[in-house]
Structure 1
Amino acid sequence: GDVTILANRSKFVDFTVPYIASGVKMVVPVKHGRDQTMWTFVKPFSWDLWLSIIIISTFIGLAILIMERNVNALPNQEGSPNQKKLCPATILWFPLSQAILPEREVVVKSCSRFVLMVWLLLAFVLMQSYTANLTSILTLDQLRPSFLNLNDIRRRGYYVGYQSESFVYDVLIDQFKFDPSKLRPYRNIAEYHDALELGSQNGGVAAIFDEVPYLKIYLQEYGSNYVMSGPEYRNAGFGFVFPLNSNLTAYFSTAILDVIESGIMNEIEEKYFGKNYIGGEVSSGEISSETLSLSFHSFSGLFFISGISTLLALLVSERFIWQRLILMAKALTEIMSPIPLFKKKTRTHPIHDSTHGTEA
């Protein structure tokens, strides 16, 4: 009954509706363990996120330095000048030190404290995310496939296996572009296991290509050391086959739909594929090649809020500078205004000498 519904076959026979989904994928060996190096501590964040943290830290440190540059001129409670002042060399180190060991009295102005509060909120979220992701990298069991992808297997010229006398042979040549000399046929999952254990270098194969239901049966028995991976060549699935224009095709299709909709199909799938089989996928048999690092996109909203808040606080704190610039601009406008070329002459009155009574 496990006949695959294909377009070229439908020219000669009638198929019922598929009773199970199918397709062609590959199974490859995996290695258990944790890929840890001396640089594992940087893996929780991607390079763009690390760069963004350095940029926002420098920007916040520079903003606080500008706002606190005249702190020495402000008297403290005892009436003496405040001696705490940020050094320009600590622009980058200051926000990081405050995130680890915050000090309340390190800044004086209200705008500076507001910026520092926003930065501590951002730093708290980053540190919690870093800790959680680093913990998962160091403790979770990671499944690493022996080969990254299909191109890796083709490029290295490894042998691959397939089910003998199956249309999968044509798929490997026409769709996946394998050299026919690199294909080895096998009859059952026991031979699959032996070939994968030997490996391509020792007379076996690097991967097995077959239809997804067969591979799921294989993973149900040997799944701890293997994983389903790579691209999928899709087809309609498995169905029952009848001669062309057979009256039984419609009846069998209706019966299949009744079984699928009644829930009995779930019991059948659990019997042959196990309890991990959910909705046609084996949750433990699929892996992702994506990195575990958190990217800048995950925190872009927080970075945007921090940058805008710091910029607004800087504008409010240094408003007298903008006011002075406006006054200077007005004064410059008045100076540059056109001066009249000819002045109107004013009539002068004669000066009388009070002593002699004569006009001067």
Structure 2
Amino acid sequence: MNLKNILIQLIVFIGLELKSVFSGGIRIGLICDRNVAEMQTVFETAIEVANANLEVPLLFTESEVPFGDSYEAYKVMCDMLMMGVGGIFGPSSKNSVLHLMSFCDAKEIPFMSSYIDVDSSKSVMINLHPHPSDIARAIHDLIEAYEWTSLTFLYESGDYLNILNELISLYDSGGPYITARRYDLQLNLNYKSILRRVRKSDDSYVVIVGSVETLPEVLRQAQQVGIITEDYSYIIGSMDMQAIDLEEFKYSEVNITTFRMFSPQQPEVRKLITELGYPDDDEERNITCPITIEMALLYDAIQFYAETTKTMRFKPVAMNCSDKNNYWDKGSSIGNYLRLTVAQGLTGNIYLENGVRSHYNLELVELTSTGLQKIGDWDSDKGLSINRFTPEEPILESDSLSLVNKSLIVLLAMNAPHVTLKQSTMKLSGNNRYEGFGVELIQRLAEKLGFNFTFHMHKDGNYGSFNSTSNISTGMVREIMEGRADLGITDLTITSEREAGVDFTIPFMNLGISILYQKPRKADPKLFSFMDPFSGKVWLWLGISFFGVSLAFFILGRIAPGEWDNPYPCIEEPEELENQLSMGNSIWFATGALLQQGSEIAPKALSTRLLASIWWFFTLILVASYTANLAACLTFENPTSVIDDVKDLAENKGGVQYGAKSSGSTRTFFKNSEDETYMLMNNYMNQNPSLLTSTNDEGVERVLTENYAFLMESTSIEYNVARICNLTQIGGLLDEKGYGIAMRKNWPYRDKLNNALLELQESGVLAKMKSKWWFELGTGSCTKKTEQSEATEMGMPNLGGVYFVLLIGSSIAAACGLIDWLFFVLRKARRYKVRFMDALKEEFQIVIDFSNNTKIVCSTGSIYSRNSSLTIDSNELNT
């Protein structure tokens, strides 16, 4: 190492020491390798909370490293040690944790980790995660309570084998039969082969231990192979079950039990959720909570470490990793003090015994239709206690209008996403066969009002109507009127005809009729598309400028004395002078500059050179603008739509045919409308009954295969557009209406359903349900791309400046040329001793003789020839 590097390191070291002294706080470091943004937010929030009760504040430094990169983590840690840190909060990777822990042990720097299985015997190592033996004891107690006689133990990797070993050691020869199966990342997230073995075995009891990264996919694939049903029971040994989205498993009737160290309803947890940028939604938190066990333990570790600064006084020192004899003499004391400290955090009581967390409590929770509900506790000292209780029930009325324990028949009609058949490898029966927005809505209402229900499918798909004149009803309306069903739900529109025969709830979704058509197609390229970069006005002014500048070159060339040359250089006193800037040459010079090719013409006089420079600048900017915009115009093909609104459709613009579903509210709307446009469309559909369809799916298919537009409800259009990339909605809504739940006339429980719907609407549940069934489930093939901005022609507002520069420059050049010519005439008049006006008149006659590009120096009859004794030197005169 040379002297320069030694001096640099010395300066950095001194600077860091001074910074530590003047900072007035204790610096601690965080090394992140997963969920970096969330972990840093938790880290900073925890320090902010801790500093509120500290005299000496905690300072923080954060760094991100690749997951599993021990070398990079080591380099980052060495940088932190150079700054002087009082503790390191380690990464998530086990390899990185072990590497950094051994080094911190040598330097006696407190090291904190939340990895599940790390040796905590070292004095500087603090791990707040429950020990694998405790997790095994909790699982053992739960298995004993459930009286399982055999089970399958699924574990993610070798890191979780200690839990299995501890669990086996808790049983004697009479324990349950345990089949261990491993799933890991080496299977590229394809666990179906392992899960099929579970399905084919006789075990219906499963224990799963793994990380939050793999558990969601394991459960999802388990559902796909048919083992997430009421026939199976699961114990999840991970503490991160609350961080998984459990929405799709709530209604599977599977028994899933797990442990957690904190409740999402705790005020500190809710505050932390808000700090991470998530809404504080009680109902949503029961289904999924963004706070993982790793985040919670990091938060608690900060509070735990802060306890030492309340009684101990110390200041971190900067250390060099390359110095093997360098260590922090206060580090072991801090570690020993932490092992004797008791604190409270998000995860409850924090107490270490022999470096292992003890005297703490775990919540036992079970997955229900409303999310994770607490059913008991597991104490590390007292063991398991199950206090199963019914989740908070809605207030139930005792009068005769209560729906509690009533059994209702709900009539369904197949139409995605309102009602569809559930996809499953197992044979389903009863209510489990159906899913969709309408199905979930009935389930939500049943939870609130306490009734039971049975789904019946209306097979012909006819929603029906009621004719009050003939008293004839059809479809679903007829079955409800005749008492064969209590409720009817699908995309059933509330209309006056139907309300004459049945009652409806308040609308649970508002919509209108719109037009479904193919997305705009790309326009055919034009023959003269190369003209598109500029507007017509720009091209016009370009032509005017071109001929104007060419004419200016020609005139200035005749005026400027410097442009009149001796055609025979060997003759010192020529009789004639020649000008190269003829009209043709001037046009050729302007053309060469415009096309960026140049020419053999070279201006010589100041005025012509100035004009040439301005013209070159003008053409440079104009050609560059043209080239740039030409690339955009040629690569971008502006999509064009045949129809833009309902008027275009009514006029059959572009030969587009149109139709609607032959029976239903959409067809009724056109029949009853008194608007001229809609009446014209109704006549067209009456004259062309072949354009009407029996189902919405048939109409969608015709839109895709024919020059055809389909009139349907906007909600159905949104659903199809989100899944079929070639479709789009044309124009706005033609009317306004709503979907409702149909029931018999004067049904006594209508107000109960209305109140429950209002509660779901006000709490945002209906909006979330629509987002789920319309835009989340089943979508993905038509991901939204960033819309390419349309290439537009450049007009005079874009290029007016360069024309202005050309005009000003040309004016200056003309002024220079005129002044130069006048001085030339003046010098010539003095030399030949003639009057200035006479000389000006004669020179002007030579200039305006456009047919002649040569000039006789002293012709017979000229005013200059009268003084023949003077010697004529053309070069001198020009100079």
TM norm structure 2:
0.28
Report deviation, 1:136.
3.3
Q: Which residue of 2 aligns with 1:128?
A: 628
2:540 to 29, 48, 51: 51
Q: Which residue of 1 aligns with 2:50?
A: none
1:210 to 667, 689, 712: 712
Q: Which residue of 1 aligns with 2:612?
A: 112
1:250 to 758, 769, 775: 758
Q: Find the aligned partners of 1:214 and 1:258 in 2 and give their Cα distance.
A: 17
Q: Is the 8 A contact 1:149 1:230 kept in 2?
A: yes
Report the secondary structure of 2:665's partner residue: coil
Give the partner amino acid of 2:665.
S
1:230 and 2:730 correspond: yes
Correspondence list, 1:312-351, <5 A: 312-319=808-815
CA, structure 1 residues 28+240, in 2 after alignment: closer, same or farther (shift >3 Å)?
A: closer
Deviates more, 1:119-128 or 1:174-183: 174-183
Report deviation, 1:61.
4.0
Report the secondary structure of 1:170's partner residue: helix
Report the secondary structure of 1:128's partner residue: helix
CA, structure 1 residues 51+302, in 2 after alignment: closer, same or farther (shift >3 Å)?
A: same
Give the partner amino acid of 2:715.
P
Q: Find the aligned partners of 1:102 and 1:191 in 2 and give their Cα distance.
A: 62
Correspondence list, 1:46-195, <5 A: 46-70=535-559, 73-74=562-563, 83-85=579-581, 87=583, 91=587, 95-103=590-598, 106-107=602-603, 108-137=608-637, 145=641, 150-156=646-652, 159-163=657-661, 164-167=663-666, 169-170=668-669, 174=675, 176-177=677-678, 178-183=680-685, 184-195=691-702
Correspondence list, 1:192-203, <5 A: 192-196=699-703, 199=706
Report the secondary structure of 1:179's partner residue: helix
Report deviation, 1:209.
1.4
Q: Find the aligned partners of 1:264 and 1:29 in 2 and give their Cα distance.
A: 24
1:311 to 804, 807, 822: 807
1:26 and 2:528 correspond: no
Q: Is the 8 A contact 2:636 2:791 kept in 1?
A: no
1:154-188 C-alpha deviation (Å, 9 max, x unpaired): 33486421233124652695374333232244243
Report deviation, 1:28.
3.3
Q: Structure 1 or 2: larger helix share?
A: 1
Report the secondary structure of 2:763's partner residue: helix
Q: Is the 8 A contact 1:68 1:112 kept in 2?
A: no
Report deviation, 1:251.
0.6
Q: Is the 8 A contact 1:122 1:302 kept in 2?
A: no
Correspondence list, 1:264-283, <5 A: 265=771, 269-274=775-780, 276=782
1:7-33 C-alpha deviation (Å, 9 max, x unpaired): 9999x9664675xx7443323357977
Q: Which residue of 2 aligns with 1:340?
A: none
Work out the percentage of aligned pairs sharing the same amino acid. 14
Report deviation, 1:117.
1.0
1:205-253 C-alpha deviation (Å, 9 max, x unpaired): 73111223322433456544xx425322266686666957943343121
Q: Find the aligned partners of 1:122 and 1:220 in 2 and give their Cα distance.
A: 44
Deviates more, 1:308-317 or 1:189-198: 189-198
1:282-303 C-alpha deviation (Å, 9 max, x unpaired): x69x999xxx7733xx342343
Q: Is the 8 A contact 2:520 2:639 kept in 1?
A: yes
Give the partner amino acid of 1:100.
L
1:113-154 C-alpha deviation (Å, 9 max, x unpaired): 1232123212211122123312334xxxx7665657654543
Q: Find the aligned partners of 1:155 and 1:103 in 2 and give their Cα distance.
A: 56
Give the partner amino acid of 1:271.
L
Q: Find the aligned partners of 2:713 and 2:496 in 1 and give their Cα distance.
A: 16
Give the partner amino acid of 1:191.
E
Report the secondary structure of 1:109's partner residue: helix
Q: Find the aligned partners of 2:597 and 2:735 in 1 and give their Cα distance.
A: 61
Q: Is the 8 A contact 1:229 1:287 kept in 2?
A: no
Deviates more, 1:237-246 or 1:151-160: 237-246
Q: Find the aligned partners of 1:66 and 1:237 in 2 and give their Cα distance.
A: 76
Report the secondary structure of 2:805's partner residue: helix
Give the partner amino acid of 1:132.
A
Q: Is the 8 A contact 2:515 2:730 kept in 1?
A: yes
Give the partner amino acid of 1:182.
Y
Report deviation, 1:317.
2.2
Report the secondary structure of 1:233's partner residue: coil
Q: Find the aligned partners of 1:307 and 1:97 in 2 and give their Cα distance.
A: 19
Q: Is the 8 A contact 2:722 2:775 kept in 1?
A: no
CA, structure 1 residues 129+169, in 2 after alignment: closer, same or farther (shift >3 Å)?
A: farther
Report deviation, 1:191.
1.2
Give the partner amino acid of 2:775.
E
Tell which structure's C-alpha radius of gyration is larger: 2
Q: Which residue of 2 aligns with 1:294?
A: 792
CA, structure 1 residues 124+90, in 2 after alignment: closer, same or farther (shift >3 Å)?
A: same
Q: Find the aligned partners of 2:590 and 2:512 in 1 and give their Cα distance.
A: 54
Q: Is the 8 A contact 1:31 1:146 kept in 2?
A: yes
Q: Is the 8 A contact 1:67 1:112 kept in 2?
A: no
Give the partner amino acid of 2:514.
K
Query: 5+ residue gaps in structure 2?
Result: 1-437, 439-490, 570-576, 686-690, 743-749, 823-879
CA, structure 1 residues 74+59, in 2 after alignment: closer, same or farther (shift >3 Å)?
A: closer
Q: Find the aligned partners of 1:196 and 1:33 in 2 and give their Cα distance.
A: 18
Q: Find the aligned partners of 1:102 and 1:185 in 2 and give their Cα distance.
A: 64
CA, structure 1 residues 52+231, in 2 after alignment: closer, same or farther (shift >3 Å)?
A: farther
What number of residue pairs does the alignment pair up? 298
Report the secondary structure of 2:733's partner residue: strand
CA, structure 1 residues 264+169, in 2 after alignment: closer, same or farther (shift >3 Å)?
A: closer
CA, structure 1 residues 258+116, in 2 after alignment: closer, same or farther (shift >3 Å)?
A: same
Q: Is the 8 A contact 2:561 2:821 kept in 1?
A: no
Q: Which residue of 1 aligns with 2:270?
A: none
1:234-279 C-alpha deviation (Å, 9 max, x unpaired): 666866669579433431212335854xx9936851324545366x
Q: Is the 8 A contact 1:6 1:235 kept in 2?
A: no
